[in-house]
Each structure stands twice: as structure tokens, then as C-alpha cells.
Amino acid sequence: MRSKNTYILGIESSCDDTAAAVLCNGNVLSNVVANQAIHQKYGGVVPELASRAHQQNIVPVVDQAIEQAGISLADLSAVAFTQGPGLMGSLLVGTSFAKSLAYGLDIPLIDVNHMQAHILAHFIENEDTEKPEFPFLAMTISGGHTQIVRVDAHFKMTVIGETIDDAVGEAFDKSGKILGLGYPAGPEIDKRATLGNPKAFKFTRPKVAGLNFSFSGLKTAILYFIQKQLKENPQFIEENLNDVCASIQYTIVGILMDKLKLAVKETGINRIAIGGGVSANSGIRNALKEAESRHGWKTFVPAFEFTTDNAAMIAIVGHLKYLDKNYADQTIMATARLKL
Ligand code: KG4
Ligand code: ZN
């Protein structure tokens, strides 16, 4: 007979990380991620290579998650997987694996929306972080997404703003490419930004009405700026790299904070939870801390391992849906453009 504990296996394969995690009653027992280094030399994710790497990684990653959790497959209560949004070839690997495993073990299969998971990662049981009270605003910022979401309950979410072109992580990564930095460039821009002058160079902020974002114009502005400077001084990048990084980061953080302030004003909600890879950025973290003291906001930043793409966030959604007996059936399909 199965124990009263709820063990959920989460599987994430929406982009370029193959991940599996096991949660027991919402507590993380294991959280395994296999990053795909293969994309670095291409300066971005190559979908066909990602799919192939997922196929190679999925069995060892799930095995490791089960082993580290100290359980066996027979202990699992359900299998949760990312249905979308993401790259179709990548999603298909996790979806078909999860379907087969749930079928073979004769346990429930639970579909998870990746964007919902970035937000519900705040509900993973964790002594060090507090869970946000409803309603709150969630800002999901990563290489694939930029959204502000009003969250009234675990499964009552409304997108109130999103990017109309590039995601904010892309703005970091594409700027980094212009500067000759490796991929993904976000972490290096962040590191250099702490050593530079954020007001050394000024980049105009895009004018987008309401709570939507646009980052493609910024990338072009940076490109033209660098090309112009290089004409005058071929060593411009080497001589000014930290200041350029600090100025880019200052501009991006300013764009995010302006929209958050508007969202707080429009909704009257001042509890802000962030998620996604860019929430690791020191500039955005400092700006949020400052907003706590200056504007009386309450902000929530998840532990780093739960903020970049990971499977613990998929498993926590699986756990919450399992409690509601909200299961999928075997006809479910990966959906690349799944909406929140
Ligand atoms: O959530 P994530 O791991 O994957 C998805 O894109 O879904 O986010 C990756 C993105 C990349 O664009 C990367 O450059 C950015 O997050 N990133 C950062 C930092 N760490 C990661 N951007 C700015 N500052 C950072 N410290
Ligand atoms: Zn993501």
C-alpha cells in the first residue's frame, strides 16, 4: 500500500534544460537540472539540438532525481510535466516520457503550464522564503518571457502586461553578443555592471503604452551606439566594457521598475513576486529592496535554484493540482504556444 505522503515527480523540458525533481508534500527531496552546453557556441538555443539533448538526458536525469530523493518509482503519487509554452521538439520529449511513465506506473498524469510554474515556485515549502499572500503581482522575467501577472489564487491568474517583442533576458543576451560576450550574457553583464558607472551612457527607454514591454528597440539602439563609438575608437568596448554593461543594466532595470510601479498604481496591490532567470540580477534585486523601504512594497524573490528553469516548480504545480484531483489524460499533447 502507498504511504499517506504525496510524492510528485516533476519533469521540465520546455527549452534547453532537462530537469526532474521530486517533492514530498511540497518539500523538495531532489531537484536535478542538466544544462545543455552545446548551444553556447551558437550564441542561442538551437531547437533541433535541444530536442536531441533532451532525449539523451531525460532517463539519467529522472533516475538521478528518484535516487537523490531516496524513493523508488513505486512510491510516486503522480507525474507532472511541462505541457507548454516552449519549443515543440523539446516539449515533446518531456511530454511523451511523462505520459509513458504515468501509464506504466498506473498513477495520475498532471499537465503544467510553465509560466504558471514560474509563479507558483513561490509555494514550494522552504524555510528561508515566505509565501506571498493573495492577491499579489508576479513579474516573470527570463530569456523566453517577460510578463506581469495578477495572481488572485493559485490557479486564478491574469496577464496584465507582457512583452510585444523580445524578452528581457534576450535584451541582456543580445546586448552581450554585440559586446562580444559569451552566451547567455546576463550573468556577465550583471557582474561587470557592479564595477561600472550606470550613468556613463544613456540609452532611451522604449515608449510602450500601459503595462506592456518592448525590448527590441533597445537592442538596436545599443548596436548603433557601439558601431558609432567603434568608428571613433576601435578600442571603445575594451576600454569601457564595465560602464557600458552598467548603463545597459541600469536602463533595463529602469524599464522593469517603471512598469511595476504603474502596475502597483493601477491594481492597488503592492506585494510583488519575481521569477525567471533574470530575477537573479543584482540590479533588479536592489531596486526591489529599495522599493520596499521607499514605497512600502513587500517583495518576494525565490531561491536561485527555483527561479531559473527547473523541475521543482513543475512538481509544486503538480502537487497543488494533485490535491484538487485535477489530472490530465493520455490524449494530452505538448502545446508550444500554451497561454496562461
Ligand atoms: O529562466 P531561465 O534560466 O531560462 C529561460 O529563459 O526560460 O533564464 C535565462 C535568462 C538568460 O537570458 C540569462 O541571460 C538571464 O536569464 N540571466 C540573467 C542573470 N542570470 C541569468 N540576466 C541578468 N542578470 C543575471 N544575473
Ligand atoms: Zn522559464
Please give the single-letter amino acid code of residue 157. M
Residue 14: CB within 6 Å of ligand 1? no
Domain assignment present for residue 328? The answer is no
312 and 296 part of one domain: no
Tens-digit pLDDT profile for residues 309-331: 999 999 999 999 999 999 999 99
Cα–ligand 1 centroid distance for 280 (angstroms): 7
Atom of ligand 1 nearest to the CA of 170: 12
56 and 194 part of one domain: no
Residue 308: CB within 6 Å of ligand 1? yes
pLDDT of residue 38: 77
35 and 73 part of one domain: yes
Residue with cell 500500500: 1
115 and 199 part of one domain: no
| pLDDT band with cut points at 50, 70 and 90 for residue 337 | very high
Pocket test for ligand 1, best of 114, 142, 301 (most atoms within 8 A of CB): 142
Domain assignment present for residue 36? The answer is yes
Q: Which ligand is nearest to the CA of 313?
A: 2
Please give the single-letter amino acid code of residue 212. N
Beta bridge partners of 112: 82
312 and 250 part of one domain: no
β-pairing verdict for 7-12 and 78-84? parallel
Residue 276: CB within 6 Å of ligand 1? yes
Cα separation, 214 vs 274, whole angstroms: 19
Q: For atom 14 of ligand 1, which residue has the closest CA?
A: 186
Domain assignment present for residue 332? The answer is no
Pocket test for ligand 1, best of 172, 249, 286, 301 (most atoms within 8 A of CB): 172
Domain assignment present for residue 67? The answer is yes
Number of domains in the chain: 2
CATH number, domain of 246, equals 3.30.420.40
280 and 204 part of one domain: yes
Atom of ligand 1 nearest to the CA of 114: 7
Cα separation, 313 vs 115, whole angstroms: 10
184 and 314 part of one domain: no
For all residues of the chain together, what is the average pLDDT?
95
232 and 265 part of one domain: yes
55 and 76 part of one domain: yes
Helices in the chain by DSSP H: which ranges? 47-69, 88-105, 114-120, 168-178, 186-193, 216-232, 236-267, 282-295, 312-323
311 and 289 part of one domain: no
Q: Which domain holds residue 197?
A: 131-301
Cα separation, 85 vs 238, whole angstroms: 38
Q: For atom 5 of ligand 1, which residue has the closest CA?
A: 143
113 and 140 part of one domain: no
Q: Which ligand is nearest to the CA of 182?
A: 1
pTM equals 0.94
pLDDT of residue 2: 54
